[in-house]
Amino acid sequence: MTKKLTIAYSDDYLNWNLGSGDGSHPTKPIRAKIATDYLVDEVGADNVEIIEPEFKDEDREKIESIHDPNYVSEVIDEGRSYDWLGFKPEMGHTAGQMFSGTVRLVEKILAGETQVGFNPQGAKHHAQYGWSEGFCVFNDFAWAAKNFVQNGLKVVYIDWDVNAGDGVQNLLADTDIPTFSIHGHGIYPTHSDTWLREAGVDGNYIYQNDEQHWYNYCLQQGEGDQAFKWAIDEIAKKVAEYKPDVILLATGADGHEEEHWGLKYTYDGYAYASKVIAELANKFADGRVLIGGAGGYQPLTHTPRIWANVVKDIYEGTQKSE
């Protein structure tokens, strides 16, 4: 029996107005609604279940299992964060809701009620143990990875946002959970071990730590789909060694050729990478993939379009195995 694509979404996500809160911040939350609407229209309402990302009391304990409780209190109780101006408890609540969206999807996957889940406001991959970073407040995917392991599943985390998934890497470095990040060489975040040159092919570099199970694929500007495909193919080889039961994917859209970062991916590049993820999920993970939107700065056009395409391609690719 085909399982529905499950999306964690609420219009409360539209309250996520960072900075001054006047809507000028580049991470405009409308991208989440547009991507969700695309998926309902194109996958079909009968094949999509939208679940409410309700922030429950027990979810706070889950956040505190991955973050400093004092930091969590600053955000939720006081409404304070580096990512917005002033004291805004409503923003702290929305940060909790976005985390809860991922929690609810993890619960659905563990219960066998869905294979592919998507949180368009998920994969806040820069968030660190005791502070927000890179427009990311609570690291939902680091929590999800640990929770899946606690429930007996092997996990791999894959990230193709243009900026390295340093928060997930750091929060999982003391585990056996592998993290794979494809990102631009020499751009934010430059404070972490994500883009130093160690080895590589055609000007693109792999920087890895086998003991801590993290692997960074650092691409040069202008290399486009060729470099993207090289990196995802290299990751597929490593994933085959780990044989995961579930795949976590941060599907950043900011590598697109019309973004200013310069990686120059096209829609074909994202389609190829999505096909690889679906094949890996079918081969090792019984089709289980948890997807978060991560980054993208063209909120009315390419960002939601790429998110929706990736999710649709992976969902439809995994259903072929039924």
Mean pLDDT of the chain: 93
Contact 9, 33 (CB under 8 A): yes
Domain that holds residue 61: 5-319
Q: Which helix (H) or strand (E) holds 155?
A: strand 155-159
- Whether residue 308 contacts residue 38, with contact meaning beta carbons closer than 8 Å, is answered with yes
Per-residue pLDDT band at 195 (split at 50, 70, 90) = low
pLDDT-based confidence at 197, cuts 50/70/90?
low
Segment 267-285 mean pLDDT: 98
User: Strands 179-184 and 214-219, how do they pair?
Assistant: parallel
Residue 150 has pLDDT above 60, yes or no: yes
| pLDDT band, residue 249 (cuts 50/70/90) | very high
**Band (246; pLDDT cuts 50, 70, 90):** very high
Q: In the predicted model, what is the mean pLDDT of residues 127-131?
A: 97
3-state helix/strand/coil string of 21-60: CCCCCCCCCHHHHHHHHHHHHHHCHHHEEEECCCCCHHHH
Of 201 and 15, more confident: 15
Q: How confident is the model at residue 322 (pLDDT cuts 50, 70, 90)?
A: very low
Provide the number of structural domains found in the chain: 1
List, for residues 16-54, the tens digit of each pLDDT value.
Answer: 999 999 989 999 999 999 999 999 999 999 999 999 999
- CA dist., res. 14 & res. 152, Å (int): 35
pLDDT of 72-121, one tens digit each? 999 999 999 999 999 999 999 999 999 999 999 999 999 999 999 999 99
What average pLDDT score do residues 224-248 get? 96
CATH number at residue 90: 3.40.800.20
